[in-house]
A = this chain, B = another copy of it.
Amino acid sequence: MHEQVRDYKVTQEPYYRAVGDEVDLYEAAYAVRMPMMLKGPTGCGKTRFVEYMAWKLGKPLITVACNEDMTASDLVGRYLLDANGTRWQDGPLTLAARHGAICYLDEVVEARQDTVVVIHPLTDNRRVLPLEKKGELVEAHKDFQLVISYNPGYQSLMKDLKQSTKQRFGALDFGYPEADVEKEIVSHETGVSNDVAGKLVGVAERARNLKGHGLDEGISTRMLVHAGSLIAREVDPLAACRMALVRPLTDDPDMRDALDAAVTTFF
């Protein structure tokens, strides 16, 4: 592994609980270096999955949280001013392409389309990255793969990937894990008993049914881990759920009452 990307190696196995054939499919996709798109709601484990796959494949992982003011230069690189004039510095995408890392663009719809478009030549059979400002044409390293995530429920009419971008990717769907799997995750990550973990998952299921009926999103697995970790530190479960599940989710008094009631049912 090239020293420039060695820091990005995932050295410890991330805890990931597979819910279907996603691990095998991803391995096949990586084998042909197919660019991948991970779809699913916030906090359901997309980022964890790509960390797990990078660990399993033994490849470095460079993650970029996308945002609407990220310029193409933030991905590709730029000239820095130096004592001896200007010096080129590779951006995270160039670093990954040049030295063979998996590059993960998290929440890619947040980025402006012009930023997204720089990935096109890396995602067709050319597998090159033109550094127009430097006048260099980087041929992607054989280990390089591009992965993007996006939340289909979140995108608005104004923010969506173009078809000419989407069609460059294979896609995997992610959702909240099934009750038993999620219970196992919460218990494993926080140390609470199976019983408490099950109650938390029960609350989450109630809340997820309210999605679209007053809630924009359901309670994510991540939030359950938050609540569990407070309970594990002997915070009163009602207070823990209010603080970690209900208050962050909504400011609507009726929804809060409904969620608080759901919490009381279980604890």
Which chain A residues have a beta carbon within 8 Å of chain B's beta carbons?
7-8, 21, 25, 28-29, 31-32, 34, 37, 39, 42-43, 47-48, 63-72, 74, 78-86, 89-92, 95, 106-107, 110, 112-115, 117-118, 120-121, 124-125, 130, 132-133, 135, 137, 151-152, 154, 162-164, 166-173, 216-217, 219-220, 222-223, 226, 229-230, 233-235, 239, 243-244, 247-249, 251
Contacts and interface: CB of A to CB of B under 8 A. Distances in A.
Contact of A167 (B168, B171, B173, B222): B222
A93 to B, nearest CB: 10
Given A112-B69, A113-B110, A222-B124, A130 B167 contact: no
Contacts of A130: 63-65, 92
Contacts of A239: 21, 25
Given A63-B130, A65-B130, A170-B248, 15 more contacts: A7-B137, A29-B243, A42-B164, A65-B117, A66-B117, A74-B132, A80-B85, A80-B86, A81-B86, A83-B84, A90-B135, A91-B132, A92-B132, A107-B117, A168-B222
A81 B84 contact: no
Contact of A67 (B68, B118, B172): B118
Contact of A39 (B25, B78, B163, B247): B247
What is the total number of copies of this protein in its complex?
6
A114 B67 contact: yes
A72 B69 contact: yes
Contacts of A81: 79, 81, 85-86
A contact face: mostly helix, strand, loop, or mixed: mixed
Contacts of A244: 34, 170
Contacts of A230: 28-29, 32, 34, 170
A224 to B, nearest CB: 11
A221 to B, nearest CB: 10
A170 B137 CA distance: 29
B67 A235 contact: no
A42 B8 contact: no
Given A130-B64, A169-B248, A71 B71 contact: no
Contacts of A64: 130, 132
